[in-house]
Structure 1
Amino acid sequence: MSPTRAAIELVEKQVHDLCVLYARRLPFHGWHHVSFVRDKAVEFATGNGSDVAVVETAALVHDVNYLVRRNSSAAEGNGLRRDILTAAGIDDPDADHIDALVDEAEMRNRHRDISLEAQALSDADTLFKALPVTPVVLAHKYLAENGIGLRELADKIVGEQHTPHEEGFYFYSPAAAAAYTKWATANLELWRCIKESLDDPTVERLLTAVAS
């Protein structure tokens, strides 16, 4: 059974309140990210005929792992995710489904044949990563939130996104692929160039000077 509108609103309130309470810890994965992913996931779920209520709920809780531990996987948010879903009155089978869906849609886990619900959530989250404004406005916030360096982020992005991009499932929705693949390609090439630039000793000295 899909979550009711009342249950989804309770999940939304809990996640929003947590994002507000811990806003300083979530400069990248805060409510601005959650609400963007939720809105686009609903759009993509409507387009692919999957369960919109399930996808919306999963989108709301997909990144609560960052409240549990910095630089963590989606699976590390399992306990908090289940607490939020249970408090909203979502029964165990539906909570199990939503939790599994979040893991299935995660960039590091996904493959060509994930479920339609996972496709909708993945496309929404992936789009946030591929937005042309993300590396300009938000990348430094990801570094600060997760306590990592530029090289580690560049390695993560290229390592996780290369195969989906090259094998044609970076976006699952044909409409999303048509609209956003140009952005994704440019973003991935930017991060490949960043990786290359970090091997230049002059660039390394520049970054050291800027950081000091």
Structure 2
Amino acid sequence: MAMPEPRTYMEAGATYSGCNKTPRSLLQRRSIFRGSGLFQKGNLGSAITPEFDRRYKDKNMNRLMMGRGLLAIGMLVGTLSWAKTISHVGDPAYLLIGGGDEAATHAWYHAFREAFGDMAAVLILLAVFFGPEKWRTPQTWVISMVLMAGYYAPFWVGTPFIPELAAPHILAEVVHVIMAAFPLCALFISRQNFIRRSGL
């Protein structure tokens, strides 16, 4: 003879009493779940409570502040490299040999272009990290990664093919490592502030 469907939690508890599920334990678990404050109305799909949302935002803000600090340190150290690049402009030691008058100063032109291209990349990264929240999106995270790759990769990618493309001395190499590593760490530490809960 089939047993009727239980109509209440008490009846459900009595039905499962043979599996060590007492009515009291079932009611307690339901009460604890509903009173935990993690989810409204005790449903997994319901809205997140203000307390949970506040903790989420605080954690992300801490990550963003850490990222901003790392980015600022990297950019500050990077000004040493930038100043050295701009100092090449007008320096007779950086004249090209074996060319005419126009060709001889062409290296100055490229140093000047590089310095201003680097400045543009730095300003964009600073604006994204320190600007309004609406500027930090999945798209600007990818753009920031592309900017960093274009800015920092030339420090090393050419060396295996042309050894002369390496840093001229160890101090310059240390500067390059710091100015690249800190902003890259900042970008990954702050990733949640760009993607929020949408995923990337």
Q: Which has the higher contact order (CA 8 A, sep 6+)?
A: 2
TM-score (normalised: structure 2): 0.31
Q: Which has the larger radius of gyration?
A: 2
